[in-house]
């Protein structure tokens, strides 16, 4: 083998080695790095102070904004810009931020590199993205989602608060959140399990698609009839249930996902009430079929807090009937996003005033 070939070969080998083993920086200085485990059970080391954040997870984006970290966002995905009319109102910068991803499944790598982020928050539902993105850009990618659990949501708020230097604000919000949830939970604590109303949730544009776990219902003192149908680990929070199964479990309430524009809703309350196959179900007979906010794969922390109150007043009208939901909603939105009449605005878009008219 001659010299030239040897040189080329070593360059080639060096190149492959560099590509095959991505550097994961394990710096000695522990003070400015944090090791965390994300929702996909990946262990990542991220800087303990973030200045430039790209968020592809709307839930995290909303949390960052509510904690006052909006100026640290340098890039987003398209979801909030396209589908959340309220978001632009309390975070007008969203229209000017570069869109790094349209659907969440695609990521414009070059744009990401140009933006030089310290960290990228991704959605765990696109499982292939976090690792491949991390390998390509050599920056930490953290996949987080609350998956219908308050505890996870609170942890996210806490984590983000620490990372953007807003620990106090985070504590404040968490306190506020917990307070309201505990209020509801305690009010229904005394009711035995078998006397709690059974609830069926129809989410994700399909009558038979339902989440196997949705904490607002539990907190509000209801029982999700689909709970336990599937072990609720990552990616299987939703399931498709048999129609006969719904009939058999005979829910007292049916709740349809409503955080869409009325004309976009595929499953409507009227449809459910008129469906002859469900005629024998208690919820249909009593006409206890309502809209609720629901979630995609991510929450709006303010909205879900309100939802819990709303569900409580729906399931236990005698106990919670005195709550003025609009007033509460506006207060919550003001607390989180600094917006006046935030809930009234949202309610106008989703036509929430029609929700209780059955």
- Residue 62's nearest CA partner among 274, 301, 352 is 301
Distance CA 304, CA 257 (A): 13
Cβ-Cβ contacts under 8 Å for 260 (sequence gap 6 or more): 350
Under the binding rule (CB under 8 A), the answer on residue 187 touching other proteins is no
Closest CB to other proteins among residues 94, 246:
246
Distance CA 220, CA 238 (A): 20
Under the binding rule (CB under 8 A), the answer on residue 248 touching other proteins is yes
Under the binding rule (CB under 8 A), the answer on residue 272 touching other proteins is no
Under the binding rule (CB under 8 A), the answer on residue 276 touching other proteins is yes
Distance CA 182, CA 107 (A): 39
Closest CB to other proteins among residues 191, 229:
229
Which one of residues 131, 172, 245, 326 is an interface residue with other proteins (CB under 8 A)?
A: 245
Closest CB to other proteins among residues 102, 109:
102
Closest CB to other proteins among residues 96, 242:
242
Closest CB to other proteins among residues 83, 127:
83
3 state SS of 85: helix
Closest distance of CB 187 from other proteins, Å: 31
Closest distance of CB 356 from other proteins, Å: 22
Under the binding rule (CB under 8 A), the answer on residue 87 touching other proteins is no
Under the binding rule (CB under 8 A), the answer on residue 19 touching other proteins is no
Angle at 163 between CA 157 and CA 167, to 5 degrees: 60
3 state SS of 189: helix
Q: Which backbone phi and psi does 339 adopt, to 5 degrees?
A: -100, 140
Which one of residues 263, 318, 321, 357 is an interface residue with other proteins (CB under 8 A)?
A: 263
Under the binding rule (CB under 8 A), the answer on residue 183 touching other proteins is no
Which one of residues 10, 171, 274, 280 is an interface residue with other proteins (CB under 8 A)?
A: 280
What does each C-alpha distance from 177 to 180, 207, 241, 357 come to in angstroms? 5, 31, 32, 28
Distance CA 318, CA 116 (A): 54
- Residue 144's nearest CA partner among 156, 162, 129 is 156
Under the binding rule (CB under 8 A), the answer on residue 341 touching other proteins is no
Under the binding rule (CB under 8 A), the answer on residue 274 touching other proteins is no
The strand pairing partners of 34, in sequence order, are 46
Binding positions for other proteins, rule: CB under 8 A: 79, 82-83, 102-103, 106, 204-206, 208-209, 229-230, 239-245, 247-248, 260, 263-266, 268, 276-277, 279-280, 296
């Amino acid at each position: 083998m001659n010299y030239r070939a040897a040189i080329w070969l070593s360059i080639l080998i060096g190149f492959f080695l560099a590509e095959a083993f991505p550097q994961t920086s394990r710096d000695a200085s522990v003070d400015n790095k944090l090791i965390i485990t994300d929702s996909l059970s990946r262990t990542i080391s991220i800087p303990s102070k973030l200045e430039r954040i790209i968020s592809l997870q709307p839930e995290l984006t909303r949390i960052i904004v509510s904690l006052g970290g909006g100026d640290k966002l340098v890039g987003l995905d398209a979801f909030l810009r396209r589908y959340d009319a309220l978001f632009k109102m309390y975070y007008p910068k969203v229209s000017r931020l570069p869109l790094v991803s349209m659907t969440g499944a695609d990521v414009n790598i070059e744009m990401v590199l140009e933006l030089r982020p310290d960290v990228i928050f991704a959605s765990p539902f696109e499982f292939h993205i976090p690792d491949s993105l991390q390998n390509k850009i050599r920056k930490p990618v953290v996949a987080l989602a609350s998956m219908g659990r308050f505890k996870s949501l609170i942890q996210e708020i806490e984590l983000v608060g620490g990372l953007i230097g807003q620990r106090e604000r985070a504590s404040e919000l968490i306190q506020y959140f917990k307070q309201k949830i505990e209020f509801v939970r305690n009010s229904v604590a005394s009711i035995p399990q078998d006397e709690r109303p059974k609830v069926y949730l129809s989410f994700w544009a399909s009558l038979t698609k339902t989440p196997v776990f949705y904490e607002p219902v539990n907190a509000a003192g209801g029982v999700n009839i689909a709970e336990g149908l599937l072990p609720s680990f990552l990616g299987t929070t939703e399931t498709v249930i048999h129609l006969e199964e719904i009939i058999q479990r005979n829910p007292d309430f049916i709740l349809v996902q409503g955080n869409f524009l009325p004309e976009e809703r595929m499953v409507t309350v009227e449809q459910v009430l008129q469906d002859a196959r469900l005629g024998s179900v208690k919820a249909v007979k009593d006409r206890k079929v309502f809209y609720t906010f629901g979630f995609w794969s991510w929450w709006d922390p303010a909205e879900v807090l309100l939802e819990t109150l709303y569900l409580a007043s729906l399931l236990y009208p005698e106990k919670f009937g005195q709550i003025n939901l609009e007033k509460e909603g506006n207060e919550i939105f003001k607390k989180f996003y600094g917006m006046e009449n935030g809930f009234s605005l949202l309610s106008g878009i989703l036509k929430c005033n029609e929700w209780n008219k059955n």
